[in-house]
């Protein structure tokens, strides 16, 4: 039987590209997100192109009861080999004194609590199987906090800490944990951050050749393809023009 990978936030960007990559590697997939139409289109494309099984689960990772209800629909006789905790967002880019608490709650509830809810449920199955691999989408912002990004950076610092603790919690159960920490990747990320302002979002990548979702998916494909005895703990990946969170050379 094919291996099974569960990818959260597969309706766009890095999650969608990872679904394409893992399908090409022969994985059956469980894809989650809130936008059903996009997920169904992608699922149909991957079934046809790669002859893999694709289950779609439409729910909000911020809703703990929904996480329990929908993830329970993954057939109990299937081992979940890979979990890619990708669903996440930045909302707003402002100094702390004028930040929106609605934005802050969205980031904390999605990037931290949503990741925890999903991980708790899926890791129980991995512990029972005594195998599995969890790949968390952290960020360069998870170790390099920048002006205007207090809460997004804090949420990704949390993902960095959780990834390292989780590695210790799960090592004795034969489960791998990896964190992928990108710099600038052009996806819907900045459009979401700027609440739909596409012009402002384009400005983020002006004069830069940013990473693409596929660049990150290639890294994730490589991480999950390592031999059983190899764990890739932490990968920081940036565009050539981005030295760190504070220095990007634009042409």
Residue 87 contacts ligand NDP per CB under 6 A: yes
Please choose, out of 22-30, 44-52, 54-62, 228-236, the segment that lies near ligand NDP by the rule CB under 6 A: 54-62
Q: Is 135 in the site for ligand NDP (CB under 6 A)?
A: no
Give 92 or 183: the residue with its C-beta nearer to ligand 8X3.
183
Task: Find the helix or strand (DSSP H, E) in which 77 lies.
Answer: none
Nearer to ligand NDP, 72 or 128 (CB): 72
Q: Whole-number minimum distance, CB 185 to ligand 8X3, in Å?
A: 7
| Interface stretch with ligand NDP, choices 5-13, 72-80, 125-133, 222-230 (CB under 6 A) | 5-13
Per DSSP bridges, beta strands 242-244 and 247-248 are: antiparallel
Task: State how far Cα 225 lies from the chain centre.
Answer: 18
Question: Which residues here bind ligand 8X3, judged by CB under 6 A?
Answer: 90, 139-141, 183-184, 245
Q: 212 — alpha (psi -120 to 50), left (phi > 0) or beta?
A: beta
From the list ligand NDP, ligand 8X3, none, pick the one residue 192 interacts with, judged by a Cβ distance below 5 to 8 Å according to partner type. Answer: ligand NDP
Encoded one letter per residue, x for contact with ligand NDP by CB under 6 A and - for no contact, window 214-243 reads: ------------------------------
- How many helices (H) and strands (E) would you count in the chain? 9, 9
Crossing angle, helix 115-129 and helix 150-170, to 10 degrees?
A: 10
Q: Tell me which residue of 226, 219, 245 sits closest to 84, measured CA to CA.
A: 219
**Least separation, in Å, of the C-beta of 61 and ligand NDP?**
4
Assign 3-state DSSP to the chain and report helix, strand, coil percentages, each to 5. Answer: 45, 20, 35
Contact between residue 29 and residue 22 where contact means Cβ atoms under 8 Å apart: yes
The CA-based angle 181-248-221, given to 5 degrees, is 30
11 binds, among ligand NDP, ligand 8X3, none (CB under 5 to 8 A by kind): ligand NDP
**How many other CB atoms are found less than 10 A from the CB of residue 105?**
14
- Our CB check for ligand 8X3 shows the closer of 74 and 93 to be 93
Q: Note the residues at the interface with ligand NDP (CB under 6 A).
A: 9-15, 33-35, 60-62, 86-89, 110, 114, 137, 139, 182, 184-185, 187-189, 192, 213
């Amino acid at each position: 039987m094919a291996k099974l990978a569960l990818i959260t936030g597969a309706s766009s960007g890095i999650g969608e590209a990872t679904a394409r990559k893992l399908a090409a590697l022969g994985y059956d997939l469980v894809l989650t997100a809130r936008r059903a139409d996009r997920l169904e289109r992608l699922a149909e494309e991957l079934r046809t192109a790669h002859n893999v099984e694709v289950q779609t689960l439409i729910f909000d990772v911020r809703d703990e009861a929904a996480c329990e209800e929908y993830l329970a629909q993954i057939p109990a006789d299937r081992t979940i080999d890979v979990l890619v905790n990708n669903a996440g967002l930045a909302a707003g880019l402002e100094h702390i004194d004028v930040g929106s608490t609605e934005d802050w709650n969205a980031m904390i509830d999605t990037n931290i609590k949503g990741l925890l809810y999903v991980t708790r449920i899926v890791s129980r199955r991995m512990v029972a199987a005594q195998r599995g691999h969890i790949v968390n989408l952290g960020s360069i912002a998870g170790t390099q906090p920048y002006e205007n990004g207090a809460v997004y950076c804090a949420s990704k610092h949390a993902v960095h800490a959780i990834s390292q603790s989780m590695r210790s919690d799960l090592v004795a159960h034969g489960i791998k944990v990896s964190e992928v920490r990108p710099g600038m990747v052009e996806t819907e990320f900045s459009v979401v951050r700027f609440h739909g302002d596409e012009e402002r979002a384009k400005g983020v990548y002006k004069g830069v050749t940013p990473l693409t979702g596929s660049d990150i998916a290639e890294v994730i494909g490589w991480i999950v393809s390592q031999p059983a005895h190899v764990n890739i703990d932490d990968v920081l990946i940036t565009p050539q023009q981005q030295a760190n969170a504070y220095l990007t050379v634009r042409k």
